[in-house]
Structure 1
């Protein structure tokens, strides 16, 4: 883990996807209550668990996009007293017993530390994004991604150059499926979601895939999402 702000850490990991290594990032926040909030959990190891336990007691395990559940059950078993907060599609895939579905209209359990907004009308993701107020950090799962320009070597490089980059996984980008019109079922509602997030006071975007966006984060967000505001 590495600390990137007051009460804010990240852990970088990866997983295999079609012969390439897909970068993953977990975000860890120490809440004002003293508890620990874990977003988009990566593979749990004894060393990683020890590092997190040194911060405080894990109270919340957050899986905020439908595709991000690979290690969720492992974390819930490691921390049985923690509450899981998940996107709407995850309970159909993971046998959870102590969970809450992140959805519009739900009371914010982390009001002192976080603002959050659930993406409407995109059942593929059902993603919720968060603003860590203390560090002015926007925390996303799939909505925004940021891939380095350097292409890996070997088969992974070929896949990157001829498969992933042509369909939109390149540089700072919106999740490529969102570029397909029929993925968004109610465009006015989605537009309002983007406008709401855009109004938040953030100076960094912590992405789950790719490099953290530290420079001109609000401009990057606005440029990437401009297509939805036309």
Structure 2
């Protein structure tokens, strides 16, 4: 499936969903972020749209992720709404950062803080923050140990006029999370000089 096919939305999709998707398409994230449509999941909701993004600096991918917009016109009890945003983001870590016991709490606060900094209402947030370390042996023993942080999260965006959430603003907040994971300074809308970011590091390693 090519990008044009992945970006196609059926003419039968509800107007609220089509409006939210158009807002995602029209959003312009900060220049370090490359965003493209990708194949959405088919079984999580009647309607879905997905984007993948990478923070690129100096030719290196410093962080990457996926954001999925789900819509069920009938509503969903677990969501407490008709829309849901689901994400997976990840980045490589320096060893000293990976050992910080407060890192999971800090990373989760980056997501909620990015939403709240833009005045975005949301409900039913849930997710996990996972640290993983890889050590190499045998023929790969020359490779240095590597650590990665991964955030899986979902939340229900508050719906506005016509039952449509401010999808573009949620995308902007999500992109700010990506940049903080990548070690880039936040934008003015994303926080002030007191906001902690991870130090810049090498990009995700080949698997």
TM-score by length of 2: 0.26
Question: Greater strand percent: which structure?
Answer: 2
More RCO (CA 8 Å, sep 6+): 2
